[in-house]
């Protein structure tokens, strides 16, 4: 069940659990749920669509990875709809989806299962707090 590179280090499930625990402890219930589900289903959509339909890999030059535009667009779309379903605020959903997709696409060194929920949750919570003051 482990990938080759996970044989001698912590697997993605450990980083996912740490990310989920962190966002549940730090952010509101809706933001935490949305961040965890964005990590789960957004990453799944990006991997499946990118693997089967991904043709354009322009992120290789920018982020030094093998991610495709098609996979990133599918992740953003799924993340945005998850945010709309759980949070209901399109602005917060848009910000969370953007940062979840950006983090998933840009992060290479640290496991993205930890970084995606933390970044998406942080920027979602900050946007929600900012909108509450306006």
Q: pLDDT tens digit string along 100-122?
A: 999 988 877 667 788 999 999 99
Of 131, 97, 90, 132, nearest to 117 (Cα)? 97
Predicted TM-score (pTM) of this structure: 0.85
**To 10 degrees, the CA torsion angle through 47, 8, 20, 105?**
-40
CA dist 42 → 7, 55, 129, 133 (Å): 25, 19, 24, 30
Q: What 3-state DSSP class applies to 130?
A: helix
- How many CB atoms within 10 Å of residue 60? 12
Q: Residue 99: is it exposed, middle or buried by C-beta count within 10 angstroms (0-12/13-18/19+)?
A: buried
What integer pLDDT is reported at residue 9 of this predicted model? 62
Q: Is residue 18 scored above 80 in pLDDT?
A: yes
pLDDT tens per residue across span 52-104? 887 776 666 666 677 788 989 999 999 999 999 999 999 999 999 999 999 98
What integer pLDDT is reported at residue 67 of this predicted model? 79
Residues 6+ apart with CB under 8 A from 42: 75, 76, 78, 79, 82, 97, 100, 101, 104, 116
Mean pLDDT computed over 4-13:
64
What integer pLDDT is reported at residue 91 of this predicted model? 96
What integer pLDDT is reported at residue 56 of this predicted model? 77
Instruction: Please state, in angstroms and rounded to a whole number, the distance separating the CA atoms of residues 107 and 39.
Output: 13
Instruction: Please state, in angstroms and rounded to a whole number, the distance separating the CA atoms of residues 61 and 72.
Output: 15
DSSP state of 11: -
What integer pLDDT is reported at residue 63 of this predicted model? 62
Instruction: State the residue for tokens 């990006």.
Output: 46
Contact (CB, 8 A) for 80 and 94: yes
């Amino acid at each position: 069940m482990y990938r080759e590179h996970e044989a001698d280090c912590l697997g993605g499930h450990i980083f996912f659990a740490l990310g989920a625990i962190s966002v549940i402890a730090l952010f509101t219930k809706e933001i935490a749920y949305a961040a965890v589900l964005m990590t789960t289903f957004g990453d799944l959509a990006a991997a499946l669509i990118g693997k089967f339909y991904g043709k354009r890999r322009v992120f290789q030059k920018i982020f030094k990875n093998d991610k495709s535009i098609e996979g990133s667009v599918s992740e953003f779309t799924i993340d945005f709809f998850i945010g709309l379903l759980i949070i209901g605020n399109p602005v917060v959903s848009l910000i969370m989806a953007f940062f979840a997709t950006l983090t998933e696409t840009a992060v290479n060194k640290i496991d993205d299962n930890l970084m995606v929920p933390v970044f998406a949750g942080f920027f979602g919570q900050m946007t929600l707090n900012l909108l509450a003051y306006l």
